[in-house]
Structure 1
Amino acid sequence: MRNDGEPAAGGRADTVRGTAGGNAPVPLSVLDLVTVGKGSTASEALRTSVDIVKLAERRGFHRYWVAEHHSMPGVASSSPAVILAHLAAHTDRIRLGSGGVMLPNHAPLVIAEQFGTLEAMAPGRVDLGLGRAPGTDGATAAALRRSDRLGEGADDFPQQLAELTRFLDDDFPDGHPYSRIHAVPGPVQATSDGGVQSPARPQIWLLGSSGFSARLAGVLGLPFAFAHHFSARNTIPALDLYRESFRPSEVLDAPYALIGAAALAAETEAEARRQVLTGALSMLRLRTGRPGLVPTPEEAEAHTFGLAESDFVDEWLGNIVHGTSEQVRAGLDDLAKRTGADELMITANAHGGEARLRSYELIADAYGLPTL
């Protein structure tokens, strides 16, 4: 962190920018929600995550993120740091990170310690993506934060970010209440007797689905990830705001924008629609206060949608790139071109792990990604 009180961008450009593989126009990455389908368990969902991250590493996807959600039966990713530690044990090269950790839910020191530990487990390949929303409803957010932190939230995000960055860099100024507190593992170990400096620290990203984090990421010169998969209408305005606000930093001399894109490929167009309909029905239930496990394709096909429900599902499916592998490739290429995104992070939501695994394999094949 700089002495002017703003968080420094910390890290290096080569930990941010990816290299497009095969015939992909930009680097491709994976966002995993660790979805749990009906008739399945969280244990099975987490085993699927291991299978997918191994496939992603083998086929040259650039990074693999998991997202923090709470109180949702169909999403088993309430603890990103725990999941990432598990995935680190099964991988060697792919970047791993949070997409994201919801900063208002946690004390900055706790996040610094968790991700410092992850960095020690997987040196040089940890991303710390941070969001300012709670990732849940208000009551659950209150339960997470307890009474002494209820006043903190999205409005305090810049201050929380500054505090977290100082913990990661171990550079609180003399006289600060936290100047003698150190996030361990972290830089303090290098200044201890016989200590050795770690080569890297977690790379901070800001995540968002509106303009606030876009502008903040630009002002701080940080990489920015936008949730296009559930806020498509705001994508281009947010990216424009990020680029207009961007100031060069220690991390980046030019903006770097990643967008999350929902995409699912299958052997046929009909099968792809059958699979993505399960996610649409699951989201419909979530939005109407009835969260549950991801329904089976058979249940989704048999569901009778009311007029308003049909409109919601049609709009939701319209934001998902789905079809055969070539149709998905064409859709992703168009998305990258329309948005000018520097990287696409694909999330494939379906009832079963087999469909998701097959989708990533088909997309890799469509782009000619090599098997590493």
Structure 2
Amino acid sequence: MTEPIIDPVRGEAHGRAPVPLSLLDLVSVGEGYTARDALEASRRLAELADTRGFLRYWVAEHHSMPGISSSSPSVILAHLAAHTSRLRLGSGGVMLPNHAPLVVAEQFGTLEALAPGRIDLGLGRAPGTDGATAAALRRGRGGQGGAEDFPAEVGELLHFLRDDFPERHPYGGIHAVPGPVQGVVGQPQVWLLGSSGFSARLAGQLGLPFAFAHHFAARNTLPALEEYRRHFRPSPALAEPYVVLGVFAFAGRSTEEAYRQALTGALATVRLRSGRPGLVPAPEVAAAHDFTEQEKAVLGDWLDNALYGTADEVTAGLDALQKRTGADELMLAMNSHTPEFRVRSYELIADAYALPTAPAPADGDGEREVREGSPL
């Protein structure tokens, strides 16, 4: 008898949203703010998402970037798990070449034990940093850890999570703990992330859900999604293809306010690509910057890939993007200067889509409700 296919990925769209909405957090640090300020804003954002019907909240992995404090997604996720009760939490993603698969399996097995049924493990094959930093992260791993090793390392990680290495495999006697060997029933939902056809094809072949970085690779979106859907094979993890699309979305009380905040993220990207990473510049600094012709090209691409304006303008753009791509879920991201703006922006989008408001758990309530088998 064939085992039923279990699909814990899908959620329901709420309000007027065409598909479920989720958030990707870069934990941006703006000029005049600290990493602590950025992490506090992340907590507030996660609590907002938890009570306003967003499906999941992912944290990116970046290193040696002063304007981004998300170098340790698993640590941040453990903190957010203690402040949320319904939201799926995950990595967007863990850059697997930087880590031994066993370590990742143990970290996310721990998260699954802390927040059962709510953990996503998104995996990427890029380093999330520059070459020198990548070499420092992979020190002592010999020839392992390159992007070319990614498919094999994904397979190894899956075996650790399931605790099902073949008996004579070199790792057959090694167990990722917490995990099945200790009676942990559930497993993190594994995703592949990508900005090209490589991870799209691999995700399809493995029967895993796929998250595409439209926010910085918009030209590749449609070809990569076609590649994923064409190569998809049903698996115990997923019955049908499932696509999450990452998109920059900045909603302000006015189009001008949203543009000013979007420009701060654009200038931060310009500086990063020219080898000058730093804190996200203040709106007045970004507005006064004299962009060179080369910088204007980067700026134009960045702004073309972003949605910014009033909440109605942004939601109209999101609706059009979903219709054009057939995405099963939209994951909103933002790299901007002001923490208060990020919180207010997502609240405006939630209001524009008439997302429901759920009561937050009472302070000090250690017994948080988790609906068995539900992604929410």
> TM-score normalised by the shorter chain: which range applies?
over 0.9
SS in structure 2 at match of 1:17? coil
Q: Is the 8 A contact 1:37 1:295 kept in 2?
A: yes
Alignment of 1:111-150 (within 5 A): 111-150=104-143
Q: Write the letter of the residue equivalent to 1:234.
A: N
Distance, in Å, in 1 between the alignment partners of 2:84 and 2:4 is: 22
State the shift of 1:257 in Å: 0.5
Distance, in Å, in 1 between the alignment partners of 2:50 and 2:140 is: 42
State the shift of 1:152 in Å: 3.1
CA offsets 1:30-88 (integer angstroms, 9 cap, x no match)? 00000000111101100000000000111110000001000000000000000000000
1:282 matched residue in structure 2:
268
With the length of structure 1 as denominator, give the TM-score of the two structures. Answer: 0.94
2:94 matched residue in structure 1:
101
Aligned partner of 2:176 among 167, 178, 183: 183
Judged with a 3 Å threshold, the aligned counterparts in structure 2 of structure 1 residues 84 and 12 are, in CA distance, closer, same or farther, namely farther
2:288 matched residue in structure 1:
302
Aligned partner of 2:301 among 301, 305, 315: 315
Q: Write the letter of the residue equivalent to 2:323.
A: K
Alignment of 1:264-279 (within 5 A): 264-279=250-265
1:40 aligns with 2:33: yes
Q: Write the letter of the residue equivalent to 2:234.
A: P
Distance, in Å, in 2 between the alignment partners of 1:271 and 1:171 is: 52
With the length of structure 2 as denominator, give the TM-score of the two structures. Answer: 0.93
State the shift of 1:147 in Å: 3.5
Judged with a 3 Å threshold, the aligned counterparts in structure 2 of structure 1 residues 35 and 249 are, in CA distance, closer, same or farther, namely same
Alignment of 1:42-121 (within 5 A): 42-121=35-114
State the shift of 1:309 in Å: 1.4
1:262 aligns with 2:262: no
State the shift of 1:113 in Å: 0.3
State the shift of 1:11 in Å: 11
State the shift of 1:359 in Å: 0.5
State the shift of 1:142 in Å: 0.7
1:342 matched residue in structure 2:
328
Judged with a 3 Å threshold, the aligned counterparts in structure 2 of structure 1 residues 64 and 49 are, in CA distance, closer, same or farther, namely same
Flag structure 2 segments of 5+ consecutive residues without an equivalent. Answer: 359-376
2:371 matched residue in structure 1:
none
SS in structure 1 at match of 2:249? strand
1:23 matched residue in structure 2:
16
Q: Write the letter of the residue equivalent to 2:137.
A: L
Distance, in Å, in 2 between the alignment partners of 1:359 and 1:309 is: 27
Distance, in Å, in 2 between the alignment partners of 1:147 and 1:85 is: 27
Judged with a 3 Å threshold, the aligned counterparts in structure 2 of structure 1 residues 224 and 168 are, in CA distance, closer, same or farther, namely same
State the shift of 1:173 in Å: 1.1
SS in structure 2 at match of 1:157? helix
Distance, in Å, in 2 between the alignment partners of 1:152 and 1:96 is: 25
1:161 aligns with 2:154: yes
- CA-based RMSD of the aligned residues comes to 1.3
Q: Is the 8 A contact 2:5 2:239 kept in 1?
A: no
Distance, in Å, in 2 between the alignment partners of 1:149 and 1:367 is: 50
Distance, in Å, in 1 between the alignment partners of 2:28 and 2:292 is: 25
SS in structure 1 at match of 2:171? coil
1:209 aligns with 2:202: no
State the shift of 1:348 in Å: 2.1
SS in structure 2 at match of 1:199? coil
Judged with a 3 Å threshold, the aligned counterparts in structure 2 of structure 1 residues 12 and 298 are, in CA distance, closer, same or farther, namely farther
SS in structure 1 at match of 2:247? strand
1:221 aligns with 2:207: yes
SS in structure 2 at match of 1:31? strand
CA offsets 1:146-204 (integer angstroms, 9 cap, x no match)? 043344311111110111111111111111111111100000113xxxxxxx3311010
State the shift of 1:254 in Å: 1.1
